[in-house]
Amino acid sequence: MPYNYGIKVSTPANEVLTQADKDLAFTTKYSTIKILKAGDISVTTDGSGDGINSVTHGLSYAPAYLAYQKCTASWPFLDANTHANAYVQDPGVVNMWGSANNHALHVYTDSTKIYLQAKGATASTTFTIHYVLLLDLAEDYSGASSLFDKNIGFKVSKPGISVLTAKPYELAFTSRCKSLQYYAVNYKTETLTLPSMWASVVDPTVEEGTYVDINHGLGYPPLFLAFFTTDHSPTTPSTLLPIVSYNSIDAFAYMVSGFSDATKVRLSFYRMSQWWLGFAIPNYNYQEIITLRCFIFTEDLSQSF
Amino acid sequence: MANEIVYALNDSFAQWAGGEAEDHIDLGSGNVDGEYDSAYRFANIQIGQGATISYAHIKVYCQTQSGSGTMRTKTYGIKETNTASFSSNPFGRTKTTVDSDADFGVPGVGNYVDIDVGQQLTEIVGQAGWVSGNAAGFFSMRDGSDANTWVFDWISASFLVVRVSAEPNFNPTPKSISAPTFPSATSHGIKISKSGYDVLDSTDSQLLFTTRKKIVKVIAEGETTTTGGVEKLLAHGLGYTPCVLGFIESGGYRVKLNRDIDGASDPIGTGLQGYIGANDTNISIITSANATVYYYVFIEEQSV
C-alpha cells in the first residue's frame, strides 16, 4: 500500500492523494531533470571547416545535456520559406533543416567541459549552438563534486542519501537549478503519411517528404523532444528524433527530424529511393504512416541561464 | 511512384549486306556479315495523339555478344500511325525527321544496351492519324561500328520503356496544429523564480520551478553496456511507452543519443552510432559497435 509522505502536488482539479504519479505536477518520490546552466557556444571554422570551442561546467563528471543548432532553418525541398532564429535539434546528426552543416557540428561533454566542435563544416563560418547543461549524469559516477557545497535553498535528495551531504548528482530536486518542466499541454501526437514509392531506371531518384507544424503559442522557441513509430515495422520502439538511415551509396534515404522557433515545432518525415545497379535501393514500394509524439517544455532556447 | 510503362518487343527484323532475318535484333558489325540494321515494333502503345514524351528508351537485350570495340547506331522512328508487323523487310518504310545517335560498348550477356527514342516517339504520336493503342516502330541503322563487335537478341527479350510525364517528387500538403489554449497565470502553488525576476510576475520560462507545470520525473536511470548491432532491451515496468533519453560514450566523451555519424568525420571517435527508444515493456538501445550508454526513463507517457 502506498504511503503519502514527502511532497506531492497534483495538477488542477485532481485529488493529490489518488492522482497517478505520472500525472502529478510534482512529487519528491522521483528525481527530476535539473538544468545547471544554458547558453550559446559559437565556433568559427578555419579554412578546412574545422574548429572547437568549449564551456567549463565545474561538475567533475560528464553531465547530460541537450543541444540545438541556432540558425535559419531551411530545406527548399520541403518548404520554399526560411525560418529565422530557429533551433535545429541535435547537431552531429543529419538534419537538413540545419543544412549539411548540422551533420558537421558535434556537441559532447566530459568531466570538465561541454564542447562544440566543427569538423568538415563550411570553411570560415561561425556556427552557434544553444546548450542546456544538466546537473544530471551522462556517465556512471560516484566521486566527489564540489559544486553546491553550501546548504541553501530548497533541495530534496535521492532515497537513502542525506540531503545535507548529497553530491549534486545525488539530488532529486534543488532550487539552485532550473527544473525541466512540460508546458501546459505536455505533448501532441500526429501522423504523417507517405505513399508508396519505387525508384526505377526511369526515375533514378525519387524523394518524398512532408511535415507537421505544431503551433505552440509561446512566443519563444521552446525546448522539445519528439519520438516516432512507423506502421511499417510495428515492433519498432518509439524512437527518439532525429533519426536518419543510409543506403548503400551513402546518401541519406530516411529521416525524421525537426526544429523549433517562436511559433512552432516542426517535425518532418522524408525518404528517398534510388536506382542503383539495377535495383531500387531502398525500394520503398509501400505506403508508410508514422506517428509522432512531441513533448514541449517551458525552457526558452533563446535565453541563457 | 514511378509511372513509366514497359512495352515488350512485338516484332523485329535485321538486315546486313547480303542477308536479313525476321525476329532478330542485331547491332554492331559481324565478323562476316559486316554492319547490321535492326527494326523494332511495339504494339498497343498507350499514348494519346500529340503527347510530348518525357522518356522513351529501347532496352536491347544482350543474348549473345562478341568483341570489345564500339558499336555505333543512328536510330529513327518509323513514321507511320500504326506500324504493321514485319512480315517482310521493313527498312524501306518512311523514317522520322528526328533521329538519335547511340554509341556503346559491348555489354555483358544478360545486360542491356540503351537507346533514347523519346523525340522519335513524340514525332510518331504527333501525327494526325495516331490513336492510343496503335503500334510504333523504330530503326537502328548502321553508323560505323568497329569490326567484329556485336550484340544479338534473337529471343525478343528487348523492350521499350515510356514515360509521358515527368515523375514528380511527392510533397503532401503539410499539416498544422493550432496552438492550445493555456490556463491563465495564477499565483498559487509553489513558484521559484530565477535570480533577478519577481516571482509574482515571472513568465514560465523565467521560473526555476512552478507547480503550475508538470515536472519531468525520472523513474529510472543508469549505465548499461551494449553489443554492437544487438538491440539492448531494459524492462521499465510501466505498462506504457515512456519518454527516454540516453548518452553514449565515445572517445572518452559523452554524446547525446541519437547519434548517427555516418557520412561525416567523427572528431572524437571511430564513428560510433546509437539510437534509443521505448515501447510499453522495454527501453531499446541499439549501437553500431560495443558501447556504454547512460539512460534515463521518464515516468511521463508518450502516448495519449
- For the record, the C-alpha cell of A159 comes out as 532515497
Q: Tell me which H or E stretch contains B120.
A: helix B118-125
Rounded Cα distance, A210 and B170, in Å = 8
CATH class of the domain comprising A183-300:
mainly beta
Q: Give chain B positions within 8 Å (CB) of A181.
A: 204, 209-210, 213-216
pLDDT tens sequence across B47-101? 889 887 878 999 999 999 999 999 999 999 999 999 999 999 999 999 999 999 9
* pLDDT at residue B212, as a whole number: 81
| Mean predicted lDDT score pLDDT of chain B | 89
**Residue ranges of domains in chain A:** 34-137, 183-300
How far, in Å, CA of A68 to CA of A132, rounded? 9
Chain B positions touching A59 (Cβ under 8 A) are none
* Minimum Cα–Cα distance from A275: chain B residue: B2
Q: What is the mean pLDDT of chain A?
A: 88
Q: Which of A196, A195, A194, A202 is nearest to A275 (CA)?
A: A202
Question: When comparing pLDDT for B172 and A130, which is higher?
Answer: A130
Domain A34-137 belongs to what topology? Answer: Immunoglobulin-like (2.60.40)
- The whole-number average pLDDT for the span A147-157 is 81
Minimal C-alpha gap between B147 and chain A (Å)? 29
| Cβ–Cβ pairs < 8 A, chains A and B | 296
Domain annotation for chain B: domains and CATH numbers: 5-163 (2.60.120), 216-301 (2.60.40)
* Separation CA A226–CA B290 (nearest Å): 26
Prediction pTM value = 0.76
Quick one: average pLDDT of B16-34? 94
Question: How many secondary structure helices (H) and strands (E) does chain A include?
Answer: 0, 22
| A140/B223 touch (CB, cutoff 8 Å), yes or no | yes
> For residue B204, what is the nearest residue in chain A, using CA coordinates?
A298
Minimal Cα distance from B161: which residue of A? A202
- The ipTM is 0.93
Give the tens place of pLDDT for each residue, A24-54: 888 888 999 999 999 999 999 999 999 999 9
